[in-house]
Amino acid sequence: SSKLQAEGLADFIVDQKNVVKRSYRSAAKKYHPDMLHAVGVSEVQIARTMQKMVQVNAAWKLICQERGL
C-alpha cells in the first residue's frame, strides 16, 4: 500500500508539472510578439506587452530552477 501511495504522489507531481507548463505556454502565447502580429495587434500594443513577456519568461525560469522542471 505504501508503494501505491508513492505512485500516487509521483502522479500528482507529474500532474502539477503539466499544469505549470500549460500555464506558461498559455501566457507565452498570449504575450508573444509573433502571435500578436499574427492577429493584427498594433505595434504600440505589442511594445507594451513585450515587458509582460519578459516577466513571463523570468517567472518560468525561476519556477524551473525552484521545482527542477
| pLDDT tens sequence across 18-53 | 888 888 899 888 888 888 889 898 999 998 888 888
Average pLDDT over residues 3-17: 66
Sequence-ordered list of residues with C-beta below 8 angstroms from that of 20, at least 6 positions apart, any chain:
63, 67, 69
Q: Tell me, what's the pLDDT at 66?
A: 84
Nearest 5 degrees, angle CA 17-CA 65-CA 52?
80
**Residue 3: which pLDDT band, with cuts at 50, 70 and 90?**
low
Q: Tell me, what's the pLDDT at 42?
A: 93
Residue 1 has pLDDT above 50, yes or no: no
- Residue 42, classed as helix, strand or coil, is coil
Sequence-ordered list of residues with C-beta below 8 angstroms from that of 57, at least 6 positions apart, any chain:
28
